[in-house]
Amino acid sequence: MNPKIKNSNTETLFKAILTLKSVDECYAFFDDLCTVPEIKAMAQRYIVAKMLNEGEIYNEIVLQTGASTATISRVNRSLNYGSDGYVMTFHRLKENEEEENA
């Protein structure tokens, strides 16, 4: 956990996010909370992380996502030295997909 972001405000925000029960609820909440560019930037970083995790190279990620190499580098740093949040969600999404296909 990153102590730089831990406070009562972020705690409340994260608890609110954990109450969301569907993708449609997420759309409604994040539409109210964030600007369109903020949502698009977060989505882009997540896709960049997914592609890096799958072994894609920077040039291909730039072509497919439009992300800058600086953004790709920052995401890569988080993947390698961060809190493992990206990897945790990759595993959980894969588990959910496997359960749905079973």
Calculate Rg over the CA atoms of the chain.
15
Considering the chain, tell me which residue range(s) the CATH 1.10.1270.10 domain(s) occupy: 35-101
* Cα 45 from Cα 71, distance rounded (Å): 7
pLDDT score for 35: 98
CATH class of domain segment(s) 35-101: mainly alpha
pLDDT (tens digit per residue) in 28-81 = 999 999 999 999 999 999 999 999 999 999 999 999 999 999 999 999 999 999
Q: Helix/strand/coil (H, E, C) string of the chain?
A: CCCCCCCHHHHHHHHHHHCCCCHHHHHHHHHHHCCHHHHHHHHHHHHHHHHHHCCCCHHHHHHHHCCCHHHHHHHHHHHHHCCCHHHHHHHHHHHHHHHHHC
